[in-house]
Amino acid sequence: MHQMASDRMKDFVATGKVTLYHCDVEAMPLADSIVDKVFHCNCYYFWSDLEKGATEIHRVMKPGGLMVTTLRLSNWPQEPYMTALRDSGFTDVRMEDKQHKNITFQAIYATASK
């Protein structure tokens, strides 16, 4: 997945507009409050601890930053993750149905607060 993102975002990475990290969500090698946006896809259900992962994402995000994840509801429950986001300090946590071609999926949005 990291390689695919690197390939698709290579122009943005080359100009410094985007930085991609491949690391453990519970221990990111980043300073506090430096990330504007976080996107992850089909992964929170593999984390060993939802609360730790959500807390670490919140730690590195700037206040007002946007976190988005996508998933297919038919495969994974969303409420435990949405609860972990709220408990770690995210606000405006919500889920929306999205459509791409013939595929319906869900996107969870959350705003970082401090």
* pTM (predicted TM-score): 0.85
Quick one: 105 exposed, middle or buried, by C-beta within 10 A (0-12, 13-18, 19+)? middle
> Is the separation of the CB atoms in 79 and 110 below 8 Å?
no
Q: What are phi and psi of 10, to 5 degrees?
A: -55, -35
Closest to 37 measured CA to CA, from 10, 78, 69, 13: 69
Per-residue pLDDT tens digits for 4-56: 888 888 999 899 888 888 889 999 999 999 999 999 888 888 899 999 999 99
* CATH superfamily, domain at 25-111: Vaccinia Virus protein VP39 (3.40.50.150)
Q: In the chain, where are the structural domains located?
A: 25-111
Return the C-alpha torsion angle 105, 84, 32, 21, nearest 10. -40
How do 35-41 and 61-71 pair as beta strands? Answer: parallel
